Structures are given as C-alpha cells and as structure tokens.
Structure 1
C-alpha cells in the first residue's frame, strides 16, 4: 500500500510490480490535494481529467504485459511557467492569464510522462520567477506545510509546498538565482539544480536566459536521480542543451563516497547566517568525515554580477509589458524591473566579464576538490509578510537575501543538490547545498544519497 508520504520510487516499484494500480496512486494524490490545497495554496490548476486518462492507460499497459517506465504511476506537478497543453502558461502573473492555452507540453513534461509519470497540475510561484519568498499578490502565497504561517520559499514555492505536503512525490521548478534550492531548504526537501544547459528549457517561460535552470524537487535523492535521468538528453528546440549526451546516474547512486574530496565553503559562506544553518553544514561535514575548508574566491562579487544580469536581462524581457500593463505587475517586481531598464549598459557588460573571470577561478578550486558543502539559506522560513530579518545583528530585506548563498553558485551554472538536515525534530527545516563541478551531477547525488542512507539527511511529507 502507499499513502501521501510514499516516495516516487516506492510508488513506481509498486505499480510496476502490480501491487497497486496507477489509478490508485493517482487517487491518493488527488485526495491529498483536495484535503490540503485550500489551506496551503500550492496549485493554480489541477488536471485531474487528463491524469485519470493517463493512469488508466498505464494500468491497461500493465494488464497487457507491457514494460512500464521507471516512473510508472508517479503523480507529479510543475511550476506554472512550464507549458501544459490546454492551460495558459501563467508564470505567476496576472498579465499571462490573457495568453492563449499552450498547444503542447514542455519538453521535460513530455519526458517525465514518457517515463510513466502522471501530470496532475500546475503550481503557484512568484511572479515571473523574480522572488525568493513564495508570496504572490495575484494568486496568494504558497504556504509552508511545516508551519502555514511561514513562507515556502520561492520562486518555486508551490513546488516546494506540494511535495512537502504529500500532494505529489515529485515536482518541477526553475532556478535562476536559487528558486529550487531556497524552497527545498525551507520546506525540507531534496532539490536538484543541474548544470546550466543540462536539461531542456523548451516550453518554459524564461526569466533570465543566461541563468535559468529547470530541475526536480522530491523527498529522496533516489527520486531526484530517477526523474533527472528521465529528463536528460539533447533537444533540438533548445540550443543550450542540444549537444549534451545522456549520462545516467540512477545506477551509480549507491556508489558511495570513498575517494571523493569534500570541503566546506569558508569565508563568504560563513560570515552571515543563523547558527543553526552552520550547524547543519557542520553536521554534514562530520558525517562525510571532512574537516577541510576552501574559499570560493569573490563569491560576493559573483552574487553582485548575478544581480545585475538578472535585473537587466529580466527587465528587457518584460519591456513591452512594462510599457503597456505596468499596473498589472506586483509592484515589488515591477519596480525592480524598472530599475533594470535604467541601469547603464556597461554595467551588464562588466557583470558578464566578471562572471567569466569568476567561473575560471572556481574551476581552479574544483581541481583540488570534488564536492563543496555550503548553506542553502541563511535562516529557516520567515513568517509570511515578513519584510526584514536579522542576520548577525544586521537588519536585511527578506525578499532579496534568502538567496544569499545560492546566487553565487547560480551565476556560473554549477550543479547543486540541496539536502534537508534530518536532526530538526520539532523545528522548521533547513537545507545544505552539495555543490559539484559542471556536468558532475552524479557526484552531488551520490553524496546526498549517502547522507540519506546514514540518516543525516531526510525528508518526509507533513
């Protein structure tokens, strides 16, 4: 039997083995959505009719003796910036409601369904992905299942909420500056931001083309690996990933960590953040038997470069909307875009130049280490509506600084697994970034799986 706490790989194994039907797995998911979504506000659309037809087809294939895919019968949902046939691609906005429905599913949706998964709907998010909080003035905030008075994190807030609440065992989000890793940390999930260019972005509403990543969020490292493998592969519709070969990781997931050179990020990553954040990193380091520390050079300036690129390129994408429908934006989002339109062009040029220099310096660091551990967020989930937070005695804006530790990594497209620290009974979750060199997702996933196996990293639906 399965219930709302079951993980994706457990559901798929049960469906393939005939212990449950895909229809029953879907029933559990839809019942959980019905019971919890009114409070938690994760979904903006539930595609139940489509999902039931898909589940029936999987059950028929099983009855006919056909081989089912690795994600057979697994319900999943996607941030509403993914195209879903028949739905307008909202990207968290009021303006996009007027767009015609998508005619086809995004590439990653197609690939997950080809592996047997069942799409159950579209998820709430920060407007146009310019958000770290999970709050949306048009559709309401997605709430943290561990405490519904708290933020889920953003901008993939609905993705984090839906998985942490057990509505679905798997969800897709996007990550430009931390939008998979922040909600994964605040909601207590495993999340994967792949290398920039690894997974196709075709059929998604972009925020910043130079920084956008798509990836999964789940309650186990195994589920991340299964979904990641299902979504890999070249896509002629996305030139960034057109040449990347498939490099499966699921079969290697339990390969262990012997021989891996693991270090903790020092300096910038230790200056700010609540003590419990750094306690989580220290616990991971102890479990991995490393005392080594390294410096990611100029991480603060890397974050600054990401800010400039985000603001200017994001604003340029929305230039016409800002001219004609400025009052239909969230004012906090609109004003940052307007600021981006006014920045001098040489700022953007210099930001890209620095980013190239920074990428080369970090590549040098990875000659000596395989994995870097760093905090995912500077604190646990703030209260909904909270504007300021205190870090090390300094008052800082919440919206801008929940991505304090994720932005320097996004700037250069490194693969990262966020893993939840397990020793948090009765407390709000916190996560740790497991960072690898470009195209080395396997290593980050192996470390996450090892930490999960020994019980230091764990996630469950609440």
Structure 2
C-alpha cells in the first residue's frame, strides 16, 4: 500500500481522499514511511515535520471536505518559512535565528488547499549553487543513481519527489535552481514569470532574480500546484498586480496551433550531444521546424553572473563581515568577489538586461514557445568538479546553468520537461519557454509532450 501511494500523482491522491476512498492519515503515514526508508541514503530532508503532518491529516479526515490538494504530501526547500522551524537556507549561520513565526505565503495557500507538509529540504548554501551539495547538511543524491548529484540549488526538492517521498515539492529559482535539478532528476519543474507568485516568507538571494516554483512528477500536478499558489499578497511589493489565472483547465489542449521554435546559436553550443538530441526529439514531436536566435544570450548570461554576485553580496554583507568562517568557502569567496564588482559593471549589466528584454519580447511577437536544453549534460557524479564538453574541461558548478541563466535574467516562464534515452539510467531535460504570464502555454506544451510519451517522470 505504501508503494502504491508513493507512485500516485498529487491529483490522484486528492481525488481519492476527497471521495473518501483513502484517508489523509494513511497517505501521510505512507509518506513518512518512505522518508524513514529512503532519506538516509538520499539526504533530501533536513527536517521532518511529523507531528504537524499527522495533525493536519487527522483534521482533514475529520472535516471530510473535498479540497484540490486534500491529503497530498509535499515538502519545501529549507529557505521557505515553516512556523516553528528555523529557516536554514542551507546555511550554518541562519541556525542561530529564531524559529519562523508563520508559514510562507505559498505554504499557507497549499495548507488551505489540504496539502500536508512533511518538512524542509536540503539545498545549496543560500541557494548559491547548481549541484545540490552542502557542506553543512551533506549532499542531496540523485534517486535514479545515488552516485550522482541532484543538481541545485533545489536538490533536496528534486530528490524527495523523484524518490516518492513527496508527491511534489517547492523550490526556488534565481538562475536555474528548479530547472536544473528537474533536468538531472527527471521531473517536471516550473519557474513562473518573475513577480507572479508571492515570495513572502522565502529567504532571499537576489531580489531582482528570485522566483518560487514547484517540481512534480506530472505536468497536471505542476499546473494544479501552481494554480493553488496564485493569489495577491499585498505584503510582497515585488509581486505583480495580476488576477489569479488558472492554467489547469487549459493544458489539455495540444500543442497544435502554437508557433514553436528551437533556439539556435548559443543554445546549440556548450553542451553534450544528449542535450541537443533531447531538444530535437521534443521539436520533432511538436512539429517545430523553425529556429530563432536570442540575441547576445552569452552576454546576458555574463550580466546575470554580475547581478547575482553583486546583489547577493550586498544582501549578505553583514554576515560576510561578522561570520565569514561559517560560510561554505566556495560560496563565501564568490560573495566576496561580488562585493568588489565596480558600480559601473553593475550598471552596464542592468542596461543589457533592459535591452535583452526588449529584443526577446519582440521575438515573442513571432513565436509562442521557444525550446532549449535545460542542462548541458546528464547528472555528473556527486562531488565531481569538472566535466568535458566539446573537448574542453569545464567546471560543473558554473556550467550547469548555462542555458537557464539567460531565461531567468528577464523573468520568463519556463518548464523543464524530462526525457529518457533507451539504455540510459539518468534523464535529461528540455526547457519550454514562453512569453511573460503565459504559464498556460508552457504547461500546455509540457502536458502535450507527456501525453505523447515523449516526456515522462517515472518514480526512481
């Protein structure tokens, strides 16, 4: 029974609990059993909120009220506030902070929809990394082959969902931290448009680039969770003043009629053959033959590095001054470097961002969807520092986000869809990118690919 529940989608669990065919308590106990059996190997959870989860399940069973996420077990990256827990953000320093007084806004929304919070998840320190490796809490490991990394910084989120310990999980995405682990762990991962979802109660990294989003094992689950998290939050000044726009009712339409293109030039370089083959397979399934060029994508990525380092360093300056020895040395050194970036360089990066945004917006007047690789390779080994790409040895940490950074840079919505090659034990993802506020289209394409059997997210 435990394995049957762990394999069920969020939508299936909610339907069964709402109909009285399954109790929320049975689902929660099954999820907690999976955590007890698998977390020691995969290191996905840093905290398990067992008492809260069981109490919530008991309440749901007593109320017996249909809810969109009734009894669905989930977990959140440990930079989301959970009432009563210290918000670690993957760091040693934050552990001296008082526990959170309230849940993050989107956690409140999920709780209201009947979802059952299981705990907090491992991540790269302060979300500054792409590997899922953490010197304080240990590395999260890939459920499909634990010798390999999950990707990051939402690595624990990916490990929890791909292993069946949670039906879905929340992550954050500044430069690719949802899309990269979704690609390496074989999941559907959504980074919504910048400003779409409230970030209240989520520990920041780079205010002008931070997004919140989710990872799931189906496109419909991803849409369901996204719809629940929508809603105006007047306490978040960065949130756009847009009405709730449900996408789940729209995503069963096929990709037919959409103008879909493959990104060329920059997005056809810098990766291993498998990442380009995955894009070609998706394009063929969708009948996409057009190629477009995102102008100066390499410069956009470089500017994203500058803004990330400079803004991140400014935010962390009190910690850098007071407790430099308590940082992961690699994170600390990148932040120190960011603190020394000249103001002129930051200004040039921001000007390039405005220019790049205008140019890409013009491109979306001609197409609806753009396809790119999500990562340049399948998951490297945990702890691996370099990888050979196109005959050159490059660093893993800096290059896993080569294709995601130019997209986050201007806040576009994007979904990673997972593909598998026969004979391979590890997946690789393709990025489905849309114009601002068109989450409905990127999820519609993801669902179309899922129905066609091109994209799939099997339990590890």
- Is 1:404 aligned with 2:406? no
How far residue 234 of structure 1 moved from its aligned partner, in angstroms, is 1.1
SS in 2 for 1:148: coil
Question: Where does residue 361 of structure 1 map in the other structure?
Answer: 359
CA deviation digits over 1:318-351, x for unaligned, max 9? 1010111000000000000000011101111110
Equivalent pair of 1:9/1:71 in contact (CA under 8 Å): yes
Aligned residue in 1 for 2:170? 172
Equivalent residues in 2 for 1:69-80 (5 A)?
A: 69-80=67-78
Asked if 1:246 is matched to 2:244, the reply is yes
- For 1:95, the equivalent position in structure 2 comes to 93
Structure 2 contact 135–328 (Cα < 8 Å) conserved = yes
- Whether 1:209 aligns to 2:211 is no
In 2: Cα distance, 1:54 partner to 1:191 partner:
26
Name 1:255's counterpart in structure 2.
Answer: 253
Which residue number corresponds to residue 33 of structure 1? 35
1:460 and 1:101 map into 2 onto residues whose CA distance is 36
Segments of 4+ moved more than 3 angstroms: 422-426
Does 2:309 correspond to 1:311?
yes
Q: How far apart are the structure 2 equivalents of 1:208 and 1:141? A: 23
Unaligned stretches of 5+ residues in structure 2: none
What secondary structure, in the 3-state scheme, does the structure 2 residue paired with 1:151 have? Answer: coil
Give, in angstroms, the shift of residue 278 of structure 1: 0.7
**Alpha-carbon distance between aligned partners in 2 of 1:292 and 1:24, rounded to the nearest angstrom:** 49
* C-alpha distance in structure 1 between counterparts of 2:179 and 2:240, whole Å: 25
Measure, in 1, the Cα distance between the counterparts of 2:112 and 2:420: 33
Distance 2:217 2:94 in 1: 31
Given the two structures, how large is their TM-score scaled by the length of structure 2?
A: 0.98
Question: Post-superposition shift, 1:460?
Answer: 1.6
TM-aligned CA deviation for residue 242 of structure 1: 5.0
Q: Counterpart of 2:189 in 1: which secondary structure? A: strand
Shift of 1:427: 2.4
**1:220-369 matched pairs, under 5 angstroms:** 220-369=218-367
* 1:442 alignment counterpart: 440
Once the two structures are superposed, residues 203-247 of structure 1 have per-residue CA deviations (whole angstroms, 9 ceiling, x without a partner) of 010000000000010000000000000000111011122512100
Shift of 1:423: 3.7
* Alpha-carbon shift at residue 13 of structure 1 (Å): 1.0
Q: CA shift at 1:3, angstroms?
A: 2.3
What's the CA shift string for 1:355-401, capped at 9, x where partnerless? 00000000011010000010000000111111111110111111111
Q: In the alignment, what sits opposite 1:15?
A: 17
Match of 1:82 in 2: 80
Contact 1:236 1:242 in 2 (8 A): no
C-alpha contact (below 8 Å) 2:152/2:177 kept by paired residues: yes
SS in 2 for 1:244: coil
1:391-430 matches, within 5 Å, as: 391-430=389-428
Q: Deviations over 1:236-294 (max 9, x none)?
A: 01112251210000111102222100000100000111111111110000000111111
Deviation at 1:461, TM superposition (A): 1.4
Question: Deviation per CA, 1:62-105, whole angstroms, max 9, x where unpaired?
Answer: 1xxx3x21111100100000000000000000000000000000
Whole-angstrom distance in 2 between the partners of 1:343 and 1:295: 30
Q: Secondary structure at the match of 1:195?
A: coil
Q: Which residue of 2 aligns with 1:189?
A: 187
Distance 1:249 1:61 in 2: 28
TM-superposed CA distance for 1:425, in Å, is 4.7
* The 10-residue stretch of structure 1 (10-19 or 186-195) with the greater mean CA deviation from structure 2: 10-19
Distance in 2 (alpha carbons) for counterparts of 1:350 and 1:308: 10
- Cα contact 1:176–1:213 (8 A) shared by 2: yes
CA–CA separation in structure 1 for the residues paired with 2:139 and 2:207? 26
Distance 1:242 1:369 in 2: 24
Equivalent position to 2:54, from 34, 52, 55: 52
Coordinate RMSD, CA, aligned: 0.9
Mapped to 1, the partners of 2:55 and 2:425 lie a distance apart of 40
Residues 225 and 445 in structure 1, CA contact (< 8 A), matched pair in contact too:
yes
Would the aligned equivalents of 1:423 and 1:456 in 2 still touch at CA under 8 Å?
Answer: no
Instruction: Tell whether the 8 Å contact from 1:40 to 1:161 is kept in structure 2 after alignment.
Output: yes
User: What is the match of residue 43 of structure 1?
Assistant: 45
SS in 1 for 2:147: strand
Partner of 2:372: 374
Which residue does the alignment assign to 1:4?
A: 6
Cα deviations by residue, 1:137-169 (Å, 9 ceiling, x for unpaired) = 001000000111111000000000000010001
